[in-house]
Structure 1
Amino acid sequence: MILVLLYAVSFVMPWNKWLHLDTVRTWQWLASLLSRAGVMGFSQATLLVLVAGICFAVAAALLRTWGSAYLGQGVVRDTAMHGDRMVAAGPYRHVRNPLYLGTFLHSFALALLTMPSGAAFMLVTVGLFELRLIGAEESFLSERLGEAYGEYRMRVPRLVPSLRPQIESSGASPAWGTAALSEVYMWGVAISFGALGWMYNAVLILQGVLVSLGVSLVVRALLPRPERTL
């Protein structure tokens, strides 16, 4: 809910009513920067920014689905911290926090649809919020799992994935179907960018984002409630 609030404020931008900082969306602003710098024409720059947005959205959906498949939707959806086991499979062999990294990549895609000051607010606040969560979770896991987690932290990077796995796999089996359902919002946003972006209408893509959010709330309500195991 905090992330939803941060995203909402980024789009509403109450400060813009008094400061009048922005008149165009980040998508147009970036394209105009590239055009004025002589790198490429405005049409080509607009297309380039769109492709970047699609890549961010798809990468976020893939990474979060991959992470959810191994972590389990019960842990992903639970608001409590879990320290009963250490996941060392799938993306967790490359990066310690694939879900948070996926959310941050998702924020880059959404930032293109708001104004530049809203985009800056979104990326800074979401980044700080996630770093705070990561710090709290790593402290909790260090206390609960001890030396094993300490060694894991030393070998696997926090947020910048390594190309090669840094640890042996624990042999956990992924639950792809449930993971895909739990990340239906991320996939809806990726589809919205890919299918609607070619109309070059940020408002239309944003409508797709809102529809994806609504669908995800319905799907989550239908999924089995996670068991709370700390």
Structure 2
Amino acid sequence: MTLSRLASRLRLPLGFVVGGLYLAFARPSRETLLAGAIVAFLGILVRAWAAGHIIKNDKLATTGPYAHTRNPLYFGSFLIACGFAIAAHWALLIFVAVFWLLIYGPTIARERAKILEKFPDTYPDFERNVPAFFPRLTAWKGSGQGEGTPFSAALYMRHGEWRALMGYLGGMTWLVLRLRGVIG
């Protein structure tokens, strides 16, 4: 089994382990909770925007957030993770960064190979012009070869991104309760 395949398989189970550790060690303050909530909510918005543009496995998405980064869903998840780390305690950011590199780096590389195989005519130009992770500020206009869709709330719902919003609301509620001493 390759490192990228292993990272892909471990991504979800390790996420639950990390979540459990997070719940055990979170020590929010008002300031960190507010700052983290804002960063995490930006991640929720990025994921929602991306989910409303992508038609998985049918078209190479190059519009919306995909004109800024090739991996907006992962970038949004990164913002959510950083936001929750900030909200809980700033030191957790180091752990988030290491976890991200070890798990998502190989996953992104593996997915890149699959996408290149599926879209050999359009992906190379897209890859040359749009960064893999951290977004460019201006939208790439494309060569006219890639396809995209306008934002669709139906796609957002079909991809289940509302679950990320529910997780955000639940996690922030838990942090508020911990901050107020309701949860020990």
Taking a change above 3 Å as real, the CA distance of residues 6 and 99 of structure 1, as seen in their structure-2 partners, is same
What residue number does 2:61 align with?
A: 87
| 2:4 equivalent in structure 1 | none
Where structure 2 has 5 or more consecutive residues not aligned to the other structure, the ranges are 1-8
**Does structure 2 retain, via aligned residues, the 8 Å contact 1:156–1:167?**
no
Q: Which ranges in structure 1 are unaligned for 5 or more consecutive residues?
A: 14-23, 29-45, 76-81, 206-230
The equivalent of 2:150 in structure 1 is: 173
Considering only aligned residues, what root-mean-square deviation do their CA atoms show, in Å? Answer: 3.3
For 2:11, the equivalent position in structure 1 comes to 3
Query: 2:129 corresponds to which residue?
Result: 155
CA distance in 2, matches of 1:56, 1:135: 26
Counterpart for residue 51 of structure 1: 34
Alpha-carbon distance, 1:64 to partner? 0.8
Q: Which has the larger radius of gyration?
A: 1
Quick check: 1:92–1:98 contact (8 Å CA) kept in 2? yes
**Between the two proteins, what is the percent identity of the paired residues?**
22
Tell me which residue corresponds to 1:43.
Answer: none
Q: Name the amino acid aligned to 1:126.
A: W
Q: Against the structure 1 CA distance between its residues 123 and 7, is the aligned structure 2 distance closer, same or farther, given a 3 Å change threshold?
A: farther
Selected match of 1:184 from 159, 162, 168: 162
Task: Calculate the TM-score normalised by the size of structure 2.
Answer: 0.73
Paired with 1:58 and 1:180, the residues of 2 have a C-alpha distance of 18
Whether the aligned pair in 2 keeps the contact of 1:10 and 1:118 (CA below 8 Å) is no
Tell me if structure 2 keeps the 8 A contact 1:107–1:123: no
1:123-153 CA-to-partner distances (Å, cap 9, x unmatched) read 4223321111111111222233224211111
TM-score, structure 1 normalization: 0.60
Contact persistence 1:96–1:156 (CA under 8 A): yes
Change (3 A) 1:5 1:119: farther
Aligned residues: 169
Ranked by relative contact order (alpha carbons within 8 Å, sequence separation 6 or more), the top structure is 2
